[in-house]
Structure 1
Amino acid sequence: MTGQLEVAVVRWPDQSPSVEDGLAGLLTDYHLRTEAEKGRAVADVHGLPERYRAEILAPRTAFADDAVLLALTGDTVVGCLVVAAPADGRSEIKRLWTDPAFRGRGIASGLLSAALAHAAESDVSGVRLSVWKWRSGAVALYERLGFVITESWDERDQLVCMQRPV
């Protein structure tokens, strides 16, 4: 990444409210955009499914067992990614999102690299993720970082499942 951007692992008890608010803002953008792309546009957080509202309104609770990685420029959160707590010897990457104003600067790659390093430190054998088929840029990024398409563990239409060893 370039400039003053850095990737930091969030430890919830130690974080300021502005960091949590920044994460909530990115999650809001992520979920509203995803619902619109699925053809189910909603006006605001209140129109989202409950599980997504819970992430936005109480990220400390929603991700209590997970590692949350943030890309920061100063005190401003410009990217996020969640590494779910390991299960069955693997971690799962979720919620990769970069503020559109900061795209093209290597933020997503930096977050993914940090997530893979975190997974390796967690002594897991692999990492998996799912991504919507229409997010071709994200699929290409994952493939560049060694992820391969695998049999789906989630039968939602147009969801691509990927994995890679750590």
Structure 2
Amino acid sequence: MDAVARTPPVRTADLNGPDAAAVGGLVAAYLLQTEREKAAQLGGAPFSGVLPERYRREVDDPAGAYAGANVLLADAGTGPAGVITVHRAGTAWEIKRIWVSPAARGLGVGAALLDAALEFADEAGHDPVRLTVWDWREDAIGLYRRRGFVPVPSWEDRARLICMERAAAPRAEHSLGSCADD
């Protein structure tokens, strides 16, 4: 019998309660992996294994660091396995810190997180959604393209960081006017 694929559940994180530690841990794993990749891909000194101080607040105080953002968690059956944040950035929504724990990869967690973030943004404002991604993260770039993101002129000054945007979702039109039988 074939197993039925199930979309991992995604929910808003309670950063003032039990989810703060999970978000801090997932974000720490994301940031540490990113620093390792940047050292390998961009050259320079090897990564020391110590998280740069500029990121400490996101790990130690996610409620403060992400005040005003919508932070979502995905569960792959054993607890929080992925995180994504969505916040206002001028006239757009911006996605940051999308991370799926290595043990949960291939289970649809990243797609579920991205879809939930896009749904939130669409419901909250019908504005464009933007994000940045390192050019070596080909799997992530593919996922973003499948969800309608396209490369746009960069708002970043860091080499090899691709800026992508998905156009605003169309607003639903509600006709209160005439009927076809009039």
TM-score normalised according to structure 1 size: 0.88
Work out whether residues 89 and 124 of structure 1, in 8 Å CA contact, stay in contact via their aligned partners in 2. no
> Distance in 2 between the 1:65 and 1:42 partners?
32
- Which structure has greater strand proportion? 1
Distance in 2, Cα, partners of 1:42 & 1:25: 19
Q: Any gaps of 5 or more consecutive residues in structure 1? A: none
Please tell me whether Structure 1 or Structure 2 has the larger radius of gyration of its CA atoms.
2
Alpha-carbon distance, 1:9 to partner: 1.3
The AA in structure 2 aligned to 1:90 is A
Aligned counterpart in structure 1 of residue 96 of structure 2, from 94, 98, 104: 94
3-state SS of paired residue (2:11): strand
Q: Does 1:29 align with 2:29?
A: yes
Taking the TM superposition and a 5 Å limit, the aligned residue runs for 1:131-150 are 131-150=133-152
Q: Which structure carries more helix by proportion?
A: 1
Q: Counterpart of 2:62?
A: 59
The corresponding residue for 1:110 is 112
Following TM superposition, the consecutive aligned residue runs of length 4 or more in structure 1 with deviations greater than 4 angstroms are 1-4
Q: Which amino acid aligns with 1:156?
A: R
- Aligned pairs, how many? 159
Alignment match, 2:47: 41
Instruction: Give 1:12 shift.
Output: 3.0
Distance 2:140 2:95 in 1: 13
Query: Which residue among 77, 81, 86 is the counterpart of 1:83?
Result: 86
Gaps of 5+ in 2: 40-45, 170-182
How well do the aligned residues superpose, as a CA RMSD in angstroms? 1.9
TM-score scaled by length of structure 2: 0.81
Query: Which whole-Å deviations, capped at 9, do the CAs of 1:2-56 have from their partners, x for residues lacking one?
Result: 558310012434x31xx221111111111111111111513233xx142x11101
- Cα deviation for residue 151 of structure 1 reads 0.4
Aligned-residue identity in percent = 38
Q: Return closer, same or farther for 1:89/1:124 CA change in 2, 3 Å cut-off.
A: farther
